[in-house]
Amino acid sequence: MRRGSVVQLIVIGVLAGAIASAVALVPGHLGIPAWLPEPASREAGRIHFVFWFVTGICIFVFSIVAAVSIYAVWKFRAKPDDDSDGPPIHGHTGLEIAWTAVPTLLVTAIAIVSAIVLAKNDAQGADPLRVDVTAQQFFWTYNYPEYGNKESDILRLPVDRSIVLRMTSKDVIHSFWVPEFSQKQDVVPGIHPTLHITPDKVGTYPVICTELCGLGHALMRSRVIVMKPAAFEQWAKQKGG
């Protein structure tokens, strides 16, 4: 290849990378909603890290592929009356090894980062608060076994404390998701999966059912209110919801 072509390729690659980076970074500004909701749990912070780590790798791969394809489409277009064939290149062992090895390294890196974050997010912190979550068509119920099985239809949690949600369903499969916590778990009849959350921001967030559960699926929403520990204690010791 001539030096001029290499420069052209690099310029296209940088441009493609810049456009992809803009797509990744501009939402959240200029009135466009951000890619991810503002994190409100420690787990969400870690998951967002993996998201941006993968995004970085994807922008890198995308830039290379875009550069090569745009350059090829631009430079190797045949003239209308050109009936000749291209050079009979059947392969290139070095190149083929490279594009097997580099993606292997990249996906290995993604797998390692993901596995570490997964292990951290699954670990339960000291002195966890257990909440029993029961799903049924089409609402959520929350029970606090440590507070005399206090029942509530709004999930209230103390901030900065490890929470263990122990979940089950009375009928079909539902799924518990708080976008700001990033954690999600299907709620299945007959088993009791758990979900670990450490809320780190006081506020009110939506609880959404994300597994199709029938007629009222779209409306199976609830709220989670993350409170200061003292306010939570006060609420938890009250009688009634």
Looking only at residues 130 through 169 of this chain, which bind another protein when binding is defined by CB under 8 A? none
Q: Which of 56, 148, 214, 241 binds another protein (CB under 8 A)?
A: 214
Q: Which of 2, 3, 77, 239 binds another protein (CB under 8 A)?
A: 77
Three-class SS of residue 163?
Answer: strand
Q: Which of 91, 126, 127, 240 binds another protein (CB under 8 A)?
A: 91
To another protein, the closest distance from the beta carbon of 149 in angstroms equals: 23
Q: Which of 30, 89, 123, 126 binds another protein (CB under 8 A)?
A: 89
Query: Does residue 30 bind another protein (CB under 8 A)?
Result: no
Residue with tokens 């076994």: 145
Give the range of 10-18, 39-47, 149-157, 196-204 binding another protein by CB under 8 A. Answer: 39-47
Residues 180-209 that bind another protein (CB under 8 A): 182-191, 193, 206, 208-209
Q: How far apart are the first and last CA of the chain?
A: 73
Residue 191 corresponds to which tokens in the numbers above?
């088993």
To another protein, the closest distance from the beta carbon of 237 in angstroms equals: 32
Give the range of 62-70, 127-135, 142-150, 158-166 binding another protein by CB under 8 A. Answer: 62-70
Q: Which of 40, 129, 159, 213 binds another protein (CB under 8 A)?
A: 213
Three-class SS of residue 181?
Answer: coil
Contacts of 130 (CB under 8 A, 6+ apart): 144, 145, 146, 163, 164, 166
Q: Pseudo-torsion of CA 122, 127, 132, 133, nearest 10°?
A: -50
Contacts of 10 (CB under 8 A, 6+ apart): 67
Contacts of 234 (CB under 8 A, 6+ apart): none
**Which 8-state DSSP code applies to residue 34?**
P
Query: Does residue 38 bind another protein (CB under 8 A)?
Result: no
To another protein, the closest distance from the beta carbon of 28 in angstroms equals: 10
Query: Does residue 61 bind another protein (CB under 8 A)?
Result: yes
Three-class SS of residue 17?
Answer: helix
Query: How many other CB atoms sit within 10 Å of the CB of residue 235?
Result: 17
Residues 76, 89: contact at Cβ < 8 Å?
no
Query: Does residue 96 bind another protein (CB under 8 A)?
Result: yes
To another protein, the closest distance from the beta carbon of 13 in angstroms equals: 13
To another protein, the closest distance from the beta carbon of 63 in angstroms equals: 11
